[in-house]
Structure 1
Amino acid sequence: MSFPEPSLVRDQLWSPAQNSALWLGWWVHQVISTDLLVDAFRAVQGPLHLLDANSAIHAGVASTEELNRSAGTLGDLFRLVRRVTDDVPTSVDSRPLVGLVLAGAGDAPALPAGSAAAQAVQAVGAGIVLADTDPLTTHVLVPELQHSAEHEQPAVMWRWFTAAGPVVYPQLFSPGEADQQLREAMETAGRLIEQSGHIRVQGSDVRAEVGTLADSFGLPGLPPGISLRAARLLARADYVSAIVEKARASDAGLALDPLLLPMLRSIRAARMTAVDYALRELLR
């Protein structure tokens, strides 16, 4: 089993799609205004967002008359999100209107197998999932950072996919169970790393560095009123992510990959659990 390339490891640890999914969920449920959502997207992922118009047309959620240019705006993206989710029944027990899907080495995304959406998420590592009135239809928004001569700054290009077919969802954990998995993965990896003699992951100096990294992962914040349990689980995931990044930056580097891979799985599971739990709690 291969480990992600070093340049992709940070994306495996923390994806801005996590926070964007939460803010989008808050907006879909009309808890926050559109202006606040726009500000949140720009704060999380950068000031310039575009919608890949061709992908939205190909997915069947927009017409060529609506998007008669190569790239739509963030407003176009939100309008289409509202269109596909507006009439979807909501309840604590049904699938949330907005969700987070993550993928990594050895972990296929929870999307119809072989679909273009699954392939895109597998390549990028993250996507935002939208429910549809048809339970066998899943919409997926995949963000990609693009550089072009047309724009002075990098743009987040959102590609829209619509996948048909049943989805085998990963086992859903409670926030407590996901947190326990994170703790166990961290303790096991830490013990093995120390036994290998490569690096110590204990001690006040290391903890201070890890704390600084964890703070950077958690920026720029979560939507108002998010469940305390979900917020704590995300904070734990940030902390464990920072430990992984510090270990990867050590002299041992790649030699620690086999020990860190299980931690990445636990981090992804924790983040998806936290987003799912937060959106369900919003309905209580």
Structure 2
Amino acid sequence: MTSPRPTTGTSLREQLWSPVQNSTLWLGWWLHGLLSADEVIDAFTEVQGPAHALSIDAASGDPFDGEYSGRPTSLVDLLRAVRTVTADAPVAVSARPLVGLVLAGPGDVPALPAGTRGAAAVTASGAGIIVADEDPGVLHVLVPQLVDRSLVLWTWYRTEGQPPAPILTSPGDADRMLTEATVQAASMIEDLGLPPIMHRAPRLMVGELSDYFGLPGLPAGVSPRASKLMARADVVASVIEVTRTSAAGASLDPQLLPLTRAVRTARTTAVDHAMRELLR
């Protein structure tokens, strides 16, 4: 099976925060009947953008027999497709959540079957939404791409095979990883000695970026533990971003890149925990 060729690189900011994190939770809340279709559509347009289209990657297998091919599609089609493949998927705390967040970055391969087009697409873009299937050997992944700064094109990939063994990280372990990352990153930024062109204090810049990463909001009822973990990830991501924009930023990549892994782990763990908490 051939893989799609990555089109553009993913910036560090996109690696540290993606609206896909929030969209995954809105989609999950809707699948579990906690939101109306209008509410999830409003959330997607606020989180990702006003216009959406769905494209099925036929080369990886079309589970819809051409239903969404050859005609204009919309966010309503995306929701219908997700509902279709998850209709008979197992729903239990111990089962795979109906939807999940998948991230990729330096040193991190996506939690998808190796060598598949879906895995290659997430590696190129940095983020996607995993959608469960009745068949435990099948996963679907939705990968967004911004087209002409106005349209979010969601490409649907069907993956078959054994995904990498999951690294089971509890929210507590992920939070400890972030705490250690926060201490390291904060220490680096304090010792940098930012150039005179930066008139604002680093801590103020971190606060402003934290606001950027943290917007827009999450659906009501996300577990406090998951919300706290994502908020901590926002702060660490902001510190990394500020550090890299300093004069010494590029030289600190060997120290900073491992911290980005802690951010990604926190985000995927938080989404997984929030989805499982819905069933308790």
- Whether TM exceeds 0.5 here: the answer is yes
The partner residue of 1:208 within 201, 204, 207 is 204
CA separation in 2, counterparts of 1:57 and 1:115?
Answer: 10
Secondary structure of 1:144's counterpart equals strand
Are the structure 2 counterparts of residues 209 and 192 from structure 1 closer, same or farther at C-alpha, using a change threshold of 3 Å?
closer
CA separation in 2, counterparts of 1:246 and 1:118?
Answer: 30
CA separation in 2, counterparts of 1:169 and 1:22?
Answer: 23
Partner of 2:262 in structure 1? 266
The partner residue of 2:216 within 220, 226, 232 is 220
CA separation in 2, counterparts of 1:170 and 1:185?
Answer: 22
CA separation in 1, counterparts of 2:189 and 2:204?
Answer: 19
The partner residue of 1:51 within 41, 51, 54 is 54
Instruction: Please provide the CA RMSD for this pair.
Output: 2.1
CA separation in 2, counterparts of 1:9 and 1:104?
Answer: 9
Secondary structure of 1:257's counterpart equals helix
The partner residue of 1:183 within 163, 179, 189 is 179
Counterpart amino acid of 1:92? Answer: V
- Are positions 1:84 and 2:80 aligned together? no
Secondary structure of 1:252's counterpart equals coil
Partner of 2:3 in structure 1? none
Measure how far apart 1:257 and its partner are. Answer: 1.1
CA separation in 1, counterparts of 2:246 and 2:145?
Answer: 29
Q: Is the 8 A contact 1:14 1:241 kept in 2?
A: yes
Counterpart amino acid of 1:117? Answer: G
Are the structure 2 counterparts of residues 189 and 239 from structure 1 closer, same or farther at C-alpha, using a change threshold of 3 Å?
closer
Secondary structure of 2:135's counterpart equals coil
Partner of 1:276 in structure 2? 272
Measure how far apart 1:227 and its partner are. Answer: 0.2
Measure how far apart 1:199 and its partner are. Answer: 5.0
CA separation in 1, counterparts of 2:189 and 2:242?
Answer: 12
Partner of 1:150 in structure 2? none
Q: Could you list the structure 1 runs, at least 4 aligned residues long, displaced by more than 6 angstroms after superposition.
A: none
CA separation in 2, counterparts of 1:161 and 1:155?
Answer: 19
Counterpart amino acid of 1:34? Answer: A
Q: Is the 8 A contact 2:10 2:124 kept in 1?
A: no
Are the structure 2 counterparts of residues 257 and 58 from structure 1 closer, same or farther at C-alpha, using a change threshold of 3 Å?
closer
CA separation in 1, counterparts of 2:46 and 2:260?
Answer: 25
Q: Is the 8 A contact 1:192 1:259 kept in 2?
A: no
Counterpart amino acid of 2:57? Answer: S
Measure how far apart 1:60 and its partner are. Answer: 2.1
Q: Is the 8 A contact 2:20 2:129 kept in 1?
A: yes
After TM superposition, the structure 1 = structure 2 runs for residues 30-45 of structure 1, keeping only pairs within 5 Å, are 30-45=33-48
Q: Is the 8 A contact 1:88 1:97 kept in 2?
A: yes
CA separation in 2, counterparts of 1:119 and 1:68?
Answer: 22
Partner of 1:19 in structure 2? 22
The partner residue of 1:253 within 225, 249, 268 is 249
Q: Is the 8 A contact 2:182 2:236 kept in 1?
A: yes
Query: Aligned residues, how many?
Result: 269
Percent pairwise identity: 52
1:189-208 superposed Cα distances (whole Å, 9 cap, x missing partner)? 4445656x4559xxx94323
1:199-221 superposed Cα distances (whole Å, 9 cap, x missing partner)? 59xxx943232122101111110
Partner of 1:144 in structure 2? 145
Secondary structure of 2:152's counterpart equals strand
Partner of 1:106 in structure 2? 107
Counterpart amino acid of 1:115? Answer: T
| TM-score, normalising length: structure 1 | 0.89
| TM-score, normalising length: structure 2 | 0.90
Structure 2: gaps of 5 or more residues: 1-7
CA separation in 2, counterparts of 1:23 and 1:91?
Answer: 19
Partner of 2:119 in structure 1? 118
The partner residue of 1:62 within 46, 61, 64 is 64
Counterpart amino acid of 2:241? Answer: E
